[in-house]
Amino acid sequence: MVQNGSTLTENSRIELNTEAVPRRLGLLTSGGDAPGMNAAIRAVVRTAYLRNIDVIGIRRGYNGLIHGDVFKMGPNDVNGIITKGGTILYTARSPEFETKQGIERAADTCNFHGLDALVVIGGDGSFRGAMELTNTLAEMGSSLSVVGIPGSIDNDIACTNYTIGFDTAANTCISAIDKLQDTMQSHERCSVVEVMGHKTGHLAVYVGIAVGASVILAPEKPLDFERDVLENLRNAKILGREHSIVIVAEGVGRTQELAEQIHKSLGLDTRVTILGHIQRGGSPSARDRVMASRMGEHAVELLCAGRRNRLVVTHDGAIIDIDIAEGSAMTKSLQPEMYRTARVLSLSAPTR
């Protein structure tokens, strides 16, 4: 969440600064892919075209920047991509970029291709990498204006209410679990479903509420197996529920072991389903397409206004921006009202 004292700029207040308009803009996607990234790419390229800014697409994130895997992009390169999941620029982890030599090589690529601006679509790690790159370029006597756009199916970037890809991933999970519930009900089984969320449970809680789960486990909450799992499932059985859904964020771990413990303790016929990477794929939802498009346009307009080192974020439904260092330093916890709703509706004792 955006904290008091943060410097926010509303979209309507952005004014063009003709002296600040970049000549050549680099564009990359980094970290885990998320549905809607292509919509953001499309928006950046088209907005830049209208501002007479050259766009250089960088394949495979910072790894591509290190190795010069770049190409010039125009409107024809982004036709039809708004409906597609993933990212046409590809994405990759780059251990090499975590070294001083790797960052210097990436900086050399920026100078060689004359980049004076960079739009990064990704997560907190991608934004910290962008800051390291700008610092290195400054030491080399060059400057680079950076704007970040948050893309993550985990919705775990603290400075923004919403990240690109979350809505589509949640709907993918819900659709799959709804189908599972049909067969679980037929066989009177307990379905233990693992969703993504290595360090956070935002997706698990959101999906758990949407599918009416009896149990939702998130890595932020210490697990008391008796209280958090067995008690809930016993209550569901007493109230006549013949099948139950247990949602487990992957960061909780031991999903198969949890299912075996449920069977051993309660005698329930349990089945484990790990949704895995299908959560990252698929055609983006309307919400992800629209939010990504608005964020992409906003990113270019910020650069044209001479605003550098910013993150495009959402706050109370508005598209705004915040300093990249300030935003990357924030931390995000589970929304207490969401977790309380999950507890109440699963007929557990609500947390205070």
Q: Which two tokens stand for residue 78?
A: 């982004």
Residue 55, strand partner residues = 25, 73
Q: 322: which strand partners?
A: 311
Helix-strand-coil split of the chain, %, nearest 5: 45, 20, 35
- Given 69, 154, 156, 288, which residue is catalytic? 154
Q: Give the Cα separation of 98 and 139 in Å (integer).
A: 17
User: Six-digit token pair at 22?
Assistant: 């970049």
Q: How far apart are CA 168 and CA 125, in angstroms?
A: 22
The Cα 307–Cα 313 span in angstroms is: 14
Q: What are phi and psi of 312, to 5 degrees?
A: -85, 125
Asked about 182 being catalytic, the answer comes back as no
8 A C-beta contact, residue 40 and residue 163 = no
Q: Name, in order, each residue with C-beta under 8 angstroms of 310's C-beta and a sequence gap of 6 or more.
A: 9, 146, 147, 148, 302, 321, 322, 323, 324
The conformation of residue 134, written as its DSSP 8-state character, comes to H
Contacts of residue 321, Cβ cutoff 8 Å, sequence gap at least 6: 8, 9, 147, 298, 302, 307, 310, 311, 312, 313
Active-site residues: which are they? 154
